[in-house]
Amino acid sequence: MDSSEFHIEKKTSYKVLVLLLLPIPDLYVYSVPPEVHVQVGSIVRVPLQSRSVIGIVWLGNVYSHISSEKMRSIEHVFDCLPISRKMCEFINWVSDYTLSMPGLIARMVLYTPAILKKQIKEKGLRYIGGQPQILTAARSRVIEKIKEKDIWLKNELIKTAGVSPSVIDGLQVQGIIEQVNIPVSPMVMPPDPNFCRPKLEDHQYEAVRNLVALCEGGFSVSLVEGVTGSGKTEVYLEAVAKILSLGKQVLILLPEITLTESCLERFQSRFGAKAAEWHSGLSSRVREDVWRQTMCGQIRVVIGARSALFLPFKELGLIIVDEEHDPAYKQEDRIFYNARDMSVVRGRLEGFPVILVSATPSIESQINRSFGRYHAVYLAQRYKGSVLPDVQLVDMRYESLKHGKFLSSKLLANIENTLKKGEQTLLFLNRRGYAPLTLCRVCGYRFQCPDCSSWLVEHRSSNDLRCHQCGYVEPKRETCPECESCNCMIACGPGVERISEEVESYFPQAHIVILSSDMEGGAKRFRSQLKAIAKGNVDIVIGTQLIAKGHNFPRMSLVGVVDGDLSLSNVDLRAAERTFQLLSQVVGRAGRFGLTSLGLIQVYDPEHPVMQALVSGDSKAFYECEIYERKKALLPPFTRLAAVIVSSRDRQEAEIYAQELRKNSPKASGILVFGPAEAPLALLRGLYRFRLLIHGTRQASLQAFIKAMLLHSPKKPKSVNVQFDIDPQSFL
């Protein structure tokens, strides 16, 4: 792609290729009127059939057999900087890899429509110099005042100098003062790399030295691995300081919006200024300001969720992916991409370093480190000599629990002891709501979502039943809709609300909070409760995975896992790895500030390798075993997978087209096709889903195989959707 500017100077029209922000594969040719100035990357509005659409100028100076007189022209060029050549290359790469239309990838770059609104530039007045022909007292006061600062608002100057508007207008006509655009105030002040340098311990200093050296050498990927509480954030912030001192921008990615607040606070403490934040919870106006000021380089650091990866930085110099193992980095809706992997791609294309950070790195990253593709940085001990929690298992097979009770006697005894010491307890259960299933004890009727293959979850805080897949809600009933029996509904299994109810019955004087993504009050209440926990104003925290990572609680000394086996039952090749990662992170919330700490995990299969590794603390042995099993079974990352998901509101139509894809699959060495079969979530948001799973060697091009499959298959019916998930992370 030619990135050069091609301003139109002559009285002739240019022809350019425009990428439209639509789910279409083709680029369209448009003429550029002589009075219009565009360049590659310019954001434009163009006609398409009977409507106007947004696009990006993708290539200039193109040939077309259609004459300029007959060709449709660019209607408008938007008032913002063009998308850079490197960003256009990134859009192309992501499109090719994910098998997504490039216009849809470009739409993620132009995330907020507000950026396309015309900017209203505020006007001010500035002193040029000289004296008017007649220097009246009023004019003298204006000249005296206007010299006090660079730019004045007109009304402000009139009021301060005590003159009428005509006095200002007269000085402007005589060229004594002039009207200028007032520069846009930055959302955040520039961070100071030298503001508050931390006192690093020896093991941290060595890690910083290695990272800073790598930051000076162009593209590289570093994997920072350290036990929970080892000070990984302090270490990577020193790499941020180095990049800022070089005059470049930084992006810090986090897997959860809820982690943003604490990261922003730590950033401000280190650099004396706030970073900008980017996530779906921001208003359209704030997103517009962040987008524009990131693009022009005013904003130096952005901390955000995975979508921040597609911000058009002016001069990005570093991406940090914190908690790189977290599955939340994988988007599994519309466009399937892994923000961790795409961060590495963007770093390679633009020539800057990428830092991946985790206490429990993904197996993919560990393999890349072992092959020398990623640089290794280790932090083997906790900060200031804090000791990791003692982890113990509670074998629930030998617990005699009353009906509707879920906490063991050992866990309850330790909660009581922790309360007596004035310390805090975290109870972890990765289930929102009160109970995952509600059924009729008379006829066995189960409440199911009408649009999904999933049970409705009871939420007693809102007195309703909810689908956690599509958001469907219906009121809680006392009468069975099947047999019409009254007062027959029973809750099966625990959610965090039910655990809270049980804890309250044992410890009525304790201050208890629930932290879950569907809690009332949203992000504002969540931040408030985090601060209350950090100050020691909460005794017992009951939470989902929302609370499992990235938080520091000085008074927390006990972590209890209510159901340690829960995620091991998933139909997922990564179930063991993810369970180990999640529970390691949860237990790691305790004892971070020198307190003697304990992690109790309630399990029904204490001999499982995951549980044994958690008790022994031997993560290396666990990962070696897991990697060996993956390699033996020819599973990723030693092979590749791709999923083709066919869906329709008509079940038969979806199944027939999925079968056509399988029937027309090309023969290819090293590639196998499994299915089609109903997806585990066979019905999702009203769509019936069938899946083909494509398995190939590391060298196989699954994208080329899928393209050939589509080419040889019948045309897809309009009512059928086909999605592609390259390197799937979940199998629902």
Q: Which residues are documented as binding site for Zn(2+)?
A: 440, 443, 449, 452, 467, 470, 480, 483
Contact between residue 241 and residue 218 where contact means Cβ atoms under 8 Å apart:
no
Contact between residue 387 and residue 613 where contact means Cβ atoms under 8 Å apart:
no
Residue type, 571: V
Angle value at C-alpha 22, between 292 and 312, nearest 5 degrees: 25
Closest CA to 463 of 497, 496, 431, 430: 497
Is the C-alpha dihedral spanning 168, 170, 172, 177 positive or negative?
negative
Type and span of the H or E element at 252: strand 249-253
Cα of 712 vs its chain's centroid, Å? 36
| Structure letter (DSSP) for residue 149 | S
Annotated binding site: 440, 443, 449, 452, 467, 470, 480, 483
Share in percent of the chain as helix, strand, coil (round to 5) = 35, 25, 40
Q: How far apart are CA 249 and CA 49, in angstroms?
A: 41
Type and span of the H or E element at 418: helix 409-420
Contact between residue 275 and residue 267 where contact means Cβ atoms under 8 Å apart:
yes
Query: Which single residue is written with the structure tokens 């977290």?
Result: 326
Q: How far apart are CA 732 and CA 729, in angstroms?
A: 10
DSSP letters, 179-203, are EEEPPPPPSSPPP-TTSS-----HH
**Beta carbons within 8 Å of 556's beta carbon, 6+ residues apart:** 423, 424, 425, 426, 533, 541, 589, 590, 591, 592, 595, 597
Contact between residue 121 and residue 181 where contact means Cβ atoms under 8 Å apart:
yes
Q: How far apart are CA 243 and CA 193, in angstroms?
A: 9
Tokens of 529: 């409760």
Strands (DSSP E) found in 399-551: 424-428, 437-440, 457-459, 464-466, 473-475, 489-492, 512-515, 540-543
Type and span of the H or E element at 87: helix 85-98
Contact between residue 439 and residue 445 where contact means Cβ atoms under 8 Å apart:
yes
Q: How far apart are CA 401 and CA 409, in angstroms?
A: 9
Distances 369 to 319, 363, 366, 515 between C-alpha atoms, Å: 18, 10, 5, 35
- What residues does 275 pair with on adjacent strands? none
DSSP letters, 490-534, are EEES--HHHHHHHHHHH-TTS-EEEE-TT-TTHHHHHHHHHHHHH
Contact between residue 472 and residue 461 where contact means Cβ atoms under 8 Å apart:
no
